[in-house]
Amino acid sequence: MTLAAASSLSQSRVAASAGDWSRAHSLAEQAIALGQSDAAKEAAHVARVLAAAASGPRAVLRVSARPAAAEVNKAYHRLCVRIHPDKNDDPHAAQAFAALTTPHPSGP
C-alpha cells in the first residue's frame, strides 16, 4: 500500500470514529483507488452501509427503485458476507452488520 493510500485509510478511520460515515466512505474509496488494500475495501464497505443506513434499505443494498426479489436477495447476501464481523476486520463491522440485518418496513 502506498503512503497516500495509508494516509487516506487512516483519515477514513478517524472520520468513522467521529461518526462521519459519508466522509469515511469517500476516504476509504480513495484509499482503494490509491492502493487496493484489503483493509481499505473492508473499511469502504462498512462506511458505505453506515452512511446509507439512514436512507433506507435500497440505498444500503444499491438496488433499483423497484427491484425483483432475486436482485434484493443477491445484493443482501453479497453485502452480508462482505461486512460480517467474522470476515471483516474493520472495528465498525459489527455495527454495520447490525444496521444491515435490522428489519425495515416494506415500502409501498
pLDDT for 54 equals: 73
- pLDDT of 106 over the 70 cut: no
- pLDDT of 43 over the 60 cut: yes
Ranked by mean pLDDT, which of 7-11, 22-26, 57-61 comes out on top?
Answer: 57-61
> Mean pLDDT over all residues of the chain?
79
pLDDT for 108 equals: 44
Q: Can you tell me the distance from the alpha carbon of 98 to that of 40, in angstroms, rounded to the nearest whole number?
A: 20
Strand ranges for the chain from DSSP E = none
All three cell numbers of 10, joined, read 487512516
In the chain the domains, ranked by start, together with CATH numbers, are 3-101 (1.10.287)
Question: How would residue 70 be classed by pLDDT, with cut points 50, 70 and 90?
Answer: very high
- pLDDT of 36 over the 60 cut: no
pLDDT for 94 equals: 93
